[in-house]
Amino acid sequence: MMRRRSFLAGIGVFAAVGSVATVVALGGRGDDQRAAAADGRSPTTPTATTVKVTTRDLVQTSDFDGTLGFGETSDLVVGAGGTVTAVVPAGTIVDRGGDLIEIDGRTVVLLFGARPMWRPLGEGVSDGLDVQQLEENLIALGFATADELGPNQRWTWTTTAAVKRWQKARGVEQSGTVDRSQVVFEPGAVRIAQNNVAVGGQAGGPVAKITAVTKGVSVDLSAKKQSLVKAGDKVQVVLPDGTTRPATIASIGTVATAQQQGDPTIPIKVTFDDPNSTPNLDQAPVKVRVTTNAARGVLAVPVSALLAVSGGGYALERLAGDGTTEQVAVKLGAFADNYVQVTGNIKAGDDVVVAK
């Protein structure tokens, strides 16, 4: 005996290809419609509804809550004390060689590097990575060449000459030396998110909040679901208006953070594939749509076409050319959008009966 099983619409099935998800029996057709003939065929009812077996993609997705914005802020710390005489407007992106703030009438310049400015640099200074870092910036800004500077960790007369050229271009004293009042090193370009000190205030220490220059999406993902994603996965960001943007998982944190309510979470960073398509939103709630399972170009039928076989297994009721039907055993694979992957003695274009 077989009974057709209908399935709850939108069931959250996470069945891998070749596995079967749990289903719920909601009823079946009468036994008089399932009377088997001696040759294994059954007459169809005039009102039987059929669909064709199709070849399609079955893609399962999960949506996770995220926040669209420039990410976490950090402190912009300058080593110069004095009176703030000008600030850069919030929202400004400052690139290498750009002005970050003006103190006592002198601008503080952004240079790129992982090491902070911790000592004055000039003729006679001992070798160090900070010397090389400064030389790399002088080359990048066009005030020296690699043939002249290396760059290397040793300060030479060519380094002094390059510094003086840079200072002349800035319109400041050509001392040939650089100290903490002149530059701040950051790993890359920054965006001024907020000025902590107003014009007329005193500098020294954190003077502004800075962020990354491009928008991304931050997700606090339940640690239990970490296996669903990996760095490099292609995802879709669903914006508040329902439109989507292609994106990529850039990084996944390795340390879970305990929450007052709910499971511990891990931080995930998502970057847009085309930064120029980023919407003009900040701190906006979005969804990150992750593909959790995909079966491409497989035979599929609506889940309402499945028959549960007594003793286990599933079958389809296929319509023959003479108007009779036969049961065809099938194995189930991926589920998505109320369709299920089927394999067995079945082909694309076959007509199968579905539950009304």
Pairing of strands 106-112, 99-103: antiparallel
Q: How far is CA 220 from CA 63, 226, 249, 251, 299, in A?
A: 12, 10, 13, 12, 36
- Whole-prediction pTM: 0.68
Q: What is the average per-residue pLDDT within 88-109? A: 97
pLDDT, residue 77, reads 94
Q: Which amino acid is at 32?
A: D
Each residue of 180-192: pLDDT tens digit?
Answer: 999 999 999 999 9
> Check: CATH 3.40.50.150 for 2-60+295-354?
no
Each residue of 119-139: pLDDT tens digit?
Answer: 999 999 999 999 999 999 999
Beta strands in 212-323 (DSSP E): 216-222, 234-238, 244-252, 265-272, 284-302, 306-309, 314-319
pLDDT, residue 255, reads 87
pLDDT, residue 322, reads 83
pLDDT, residue 215, reads 93
Each residue of 50-61: pLDDT tens digit?
Answer: 999 999 999 888
pLDDT, residue 279, reads 84
Token pair belonging to 234: 């292609």
Handedness of CA 45, 48, 52, 56 (dihedral sign): negative
Q: Where are the alpha helices (DSSP H) in the chain?
A: 129-140, 146-149, 157-170
**201 has a pLDDT exceeding 60:** yes
Contact 96, 139 (CB under 8 A): no
Each residue of 137-174: pLDDT tens digit?
Answer: 999 999 999 999 999 999 999 999 999 999 999 999 99
Each residue of 2-45: pLDDT tens digit?
Answer: 555 434 333 333 333 333 333 333 233 433 333 333 344 555 55
Counting Cα atoms < 13 Å in the Cβ hemisphere of 165 gives: 15
Which range is least confidently modeled, 40-49, 287-296, 328-337?
40-49
What is the CATH number that goes with domain 63-71+214-292?
2.40.30.170
What residues does each domain of the chain span?
2-60+295-354, 63-71+214-292, 74-211
Q: Can 63-71+214-292 and 74-211 be said to share one CATH topology? A: no
How many CB atoms are closer than 10 A to CB 232? 10
**314 has a pLDDT exceeding 60:** yes
Assign 263 a pLDDT band (cuts: 50, 70, 90).
confident
Q: What is the average per-residue pLDDT within 244-259? A: 92
Which candidate, 137, 132, 127, places its Cα nearest to that of 151?
A: 132
Q: What is the average per-residue pLDDT within 259-264? A: 84
Rounded CA Rg of the chain:
33
Q: Which CATH number fits domain 74-211: 1.10.490.10, 1.20.1090.10, 3.20.20.70, 1.10.101.10?
A: 1.10.101.10
- What region does 18 belong to: left with phi over 0, alpha with psi -120 to 50, or beta? left
Contact 130, 104 (CB under 8 A): no
> Mean pLDDT score of the chain, rounded to an integer?
86
